[in-house]
């Protein structure tokens, strides 16, 4: 099934069920008001939402309405935890496992797919990283990667704002102060196309499309070069503590070793330009720029809808 949260003026928004083609939605009122309620009682509430989802897809939902992505908040507008991994990075010799690169992000305010990015000036060298994220149920401390993977409830696309400028006056800049998510979150069973699944071994085998100012930046395979799968990332977090339902784990920037696939951040593009020509020509983000991130299924249809962001003046 596919779930979204509409902006009703509250901090947690209103939960809706969204049709498979992303065209229609139906309030989940009577089952749950917010997504966190569903995650807290998944085994009881998810079958009820699935029944509503099936009715919506078959045209039997009486009070369905057209989905407007600009009314969507993040599917989970605030979370207990946001952890950002480096699932596509090269391991450091001293830490050759999934703990390498794992960082905690800001989770008290997670942004919707069309919320403006408010930079703090060109000196900060604003960039973005396109990634895939999962939302977990409860995962026990010490869980194995296999058990941890069983705790995955939903998948989303996400965009982490990054400030690349080096720290000044001894002050480090905070990482990823703005994280935006796709209009909808989907369950794993939505990733089956014609009997063939795009979700296998904790990896998502679909192409992540990134555009900046209407021009293609990358078409990267989100599973091909993923060194650590989501089960391993979650298990790494659970080495010393359990995870509560509603924790979000991001893969970090999707990267492919084959540069012909392009890039999912400006920093990666600039690094490639530096290697090829000796200088980086692609500019950092500034006011008026736009970023679009989307992923289509093997049927050619958008699975999550698009993250469509504009950079606003500071």
From first to last of its 314 residues, the chain has per-residue pLDDT tens of 999 999 999 999 999 999 999 999 999 989 999 999 999 999 999 999 999 999 999 999 999 999 999 999 999 999 999 999 999 987 555 555 677 678 888 899 999 999 998 866 666 889 999 999 999 999 999 999 999 999 999 999 999 999 888 766 555 555 568 899 999 999 999 999 988 999 999 999 999 999 999 999 999 999 999 999 999 999 999 999 999 999 999 999 999 999 999 999 999 999 999 999 899 999 999 999 999 999 999 999 999 999 999 999 87
**Which helix (DSSP H) or strand (DSSP E) does residue 267 occupy?**
helix 266-277
Domain boundary among the residues 73, 106, 125 is at: 73
pLDDT at 194: 84
Residue 165's pLDDT is 82
Q: Answer yes or no: do 135 and 249 share one domain.
A: yes
Task: State pTM to two decimals.
Answer: 0.93
CATH number of the domain residue 307 falls in: 3.90.850.10
User: In 3-state terms, the chain is what percent helix, strand and coil (to 5)?
Assistant: 20, 30, 50
Which residue from 221, 228, 231 is spatially nearest to 89, judged by alpha carbons? 228
Taking only Cα atoms into account, the Rg of the chain, rounded to an integer number of angstroms, comes to: 19
Q: Are residues 9 and 121 in the same domain?
A: no
Asked if 206 and 295 sit in the same domain, the reply is yes
CB 102 within 8 A of CB 233: yes
Q: How many domains does the chain have?
A: 2
CA–CA separation, 196 and 190 (whole Å): 11
Residues 34 and 116 in one domain: no
pLDDT for the residue numbered 314: 75
Query: The tokens 């794993």 sit on which residue?
Result: 188
| pLDDT at residue 313, rounded to an integer | 82
Residues 143 and 36 in one domain: no
pLDDT digits (tens, 9 = 90+) for 221-254: 999 999 999 999 999 999 999 999 999 999 999 9
Q: Are 151 and 283 contained in the same domain?
A: yes
Q: Does residue 130 contact residue 292 with C-beta atoms inside 8 Å?
A: no
Pair (116, 106) in one structural domain: yes
Structural domain span for residue 16: 1-73
Asked if residue 133 and residue 61 are part of one domain, the reply reads: no
Closest alpha carbon to 110 in 5, 216, 199: 5
CA-to-CA distance for 6 and 18, rounded, in angstroms? 11
pLDDT at 89: 84
Backbone φ and ψ for 18, nearest 5 degrees, come out as -115, 140
């Amino acid at each position: 099934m596919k779930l979204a949260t509409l902006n009703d003026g509250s901090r947690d928004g209103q939960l809706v069920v969204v049709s498979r083609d992303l065209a229609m939605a139906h309030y989940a009122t009577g089952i749950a008001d917010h997504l966190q309620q569903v995650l807290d009682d998944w085994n009881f509430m998810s079958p009820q939402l699935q029944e509503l989802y099936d009715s919506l897809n078959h045209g039997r939902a009486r009070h369905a309405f057209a989905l407007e992505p600009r009314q969507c908040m993040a599917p989970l507008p605030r979370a207990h935890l946001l952890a950002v991994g480096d699932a596509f990075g090269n391991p450091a010799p001293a830490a050759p496992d999934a703990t390498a690169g794992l960082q905690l992000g800001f989770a008290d305010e997670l942004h919707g797919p069309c919320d403006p990015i408010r930079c703090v000036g060109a000196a900060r060298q604003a960039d973005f990283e396109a990634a895939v994220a999962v939302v977990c149920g409860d995962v026990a401390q010490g869980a194995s990667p296999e058990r941890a993977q069983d705790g995955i409830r939903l998948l989303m696309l996400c965009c982490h704002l990054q400030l690349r400028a080096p720290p000044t006056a001894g002050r480090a800049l905070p990482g990823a102060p703005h994280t935006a998510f796709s209009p909808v979150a989907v369950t794993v069973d939505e990733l089956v196309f014609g009997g063939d699944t795009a979700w296998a071994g904790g990896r998502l085998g679909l192409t992540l499309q990134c555009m900046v100012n209407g021009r293609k930046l990358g078409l990267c395979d989100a599973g091909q070069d993923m060194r650590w799968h989501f089960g391993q990332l979650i298990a790494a977090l659970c080495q010393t503590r359990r995870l509560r339902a509603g924790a979000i784990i991001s893969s970090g920037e999707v990267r492919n070793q084959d540069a012909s696939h392009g890039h999912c951040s400006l920093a990666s593009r600039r690094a490639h330009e530096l290697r090829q020509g000796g200088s980086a020509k692609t500019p950092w983000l500034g006011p008026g720029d736009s970023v679009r991130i989307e992923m289509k299924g093997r049927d050619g249809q958008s699975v999550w809808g698009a993250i469509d962001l504009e950079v606003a003046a500071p």
